[in-house]
Amino acid sequence: MITKRIIFLILLTISSKIILGQQPANYSQYMFNGLVINPAFAGSLEALSISMVGRRQWVGYEGAPQTFTLGAHSPINSEKVSLGLMASKDEISVFKHTHVSGIYAYRLRFSNKKNLSLALQLGINNDRVDYSSLTQYQLNDPKFENNQIVSISPQVGTGIYFSSPTYYLGISVPQITSRYLMNKKILNNLQLQNHYFVNGGYLIDLRPDFKLKPNFLLGYNQSSGLNYDINLNVLWHDALWLGVSYRNSKSVLFLTQLNITNQLKIGYSFDWGIKGLSNVFFNSHELVLHYLFVFEKDKIVTPRYFY
């Protein structure tokens, strides 16, 4: 138990810049839930869609990161305009981050079922540091005089998403920072930065019951530099996805999604660390539930491959 605590403290120290930098949560199944990284994905499924994501990292260590995200989006009557809602909660040790935002997306339609969507995301962040939850071995420690620090700040994001029946490409900045509106007590510790994402995928139809879909995700911010995720999924009988990802030379991800019906899908992923300290405690689990409110058969012409 002592060894585990020491390892966790080492990790917390090494990654403190990332933790305090309010990095967006890592999502292993971004190719099945595009809204979590790009607001321009809103409305692309042609119907009301609701998804829930639960993620736990470094399982078995007290204070390890955990994330819960709820997303909903739908086109409205004009079909060119879509609206969305995102809500998320991240916790790691004494740090808690809550975010709620609304999304407005406008879609341009081209021939051959190609679409280009532009989006604006406006939201609010609530950041809390709760030192009172720590065990203090020295009473009246001046470092813990302010047991709780709270900061509320706005968040602005934007994105572009292009899709066709066989490929997609997205560029997004879901977090454009507003340093001057942050609580100064937290601002001294936080390194707020913009985060940039580029992701895409391509569908390879080998035969009617067997398809391949390679995906990629590139992310950049000043603190951690360039990050990448390369993924390959296999679809069997339009019902079961099996995939593997390689992330930043540090971890391998195994994932699966079961299309229970045309409306209900459930996905699971496991991240396995392969380098340095990551192979000790970077194992993570992620569960995704996705429901599409489409019941009329004439509205589902083909299965959904990009969502």
- The Cα–Cα gap between 150 and 127 comes to 6
Domains of the chain: 7-298 (2.40.160.40)
- Across 57-61, 107-111, 115-119, 279-283, least confident range: 279-283
155 DSSP 8-state letter: E
User: What pLDDT score does 91 carry?
Assistant: 87
Beta carbons within 8 Å of 36's beta carbon, 6+ residues apart: 25, 27, 30, 53, 69, 71, 86
User: What pLDDT score does 51 carry?
Assistant: 96
User: What pLDDT score does 92 carry?
Assistant: 83
Task: State residue 203 phi and psi, 5-degree precision.
Answer: -100, 125
- The Cα–Cα gap between 300 and 85 comes to 24
User: What pLDDT score does 24 carry?
Assistant: 62
User: What pLDDT score does 182 carry?
Assistant: 46
User: What pLDDT score does 2 carry?
Assistant: 44
User: What pLDDT score does 225 carry?
Assistant: 84
pTM above 0.75, yes or no: yes
Q: What is the pLDDT of residues 101-136, one digit of tens each?
A: 999 999 999 988 899 999 999 999 888 887 766 666
Buried b / exposed e along 220-249 (16+ C-beta atoms within 10 A): bbeebeebebebebbbeebeebebebebee
- The Cα–Cα gap between 69 and 56 comes to 12
Q: Who wins on pLDDT, 64 or 187? A: 64
Q: What is the pLDDT of residues 248-268, one digit of tens each?
A: 878 899 999 999 998 999 999
pLDDT above 60: residue 185: no
User: What pLDDT score does 251 carry?
Assistant: 86
User: What pLDDT score does 296 carry?
Assistant: 59
Beta carbons within 8 Å of 4's beta carbon, 6+ residues apart: 60, 61
Q: What is the pLDDT of residues 26-37, one digit of tens each?
A: 789 999 989 999
Under a CB-based contact definition with an 8 Å cutoff, are residues 159 and 32 in contact? Answer: no
Q: What is the pLDDT of residues 205-216, one digit of tens each?
A: 988 889 999 999
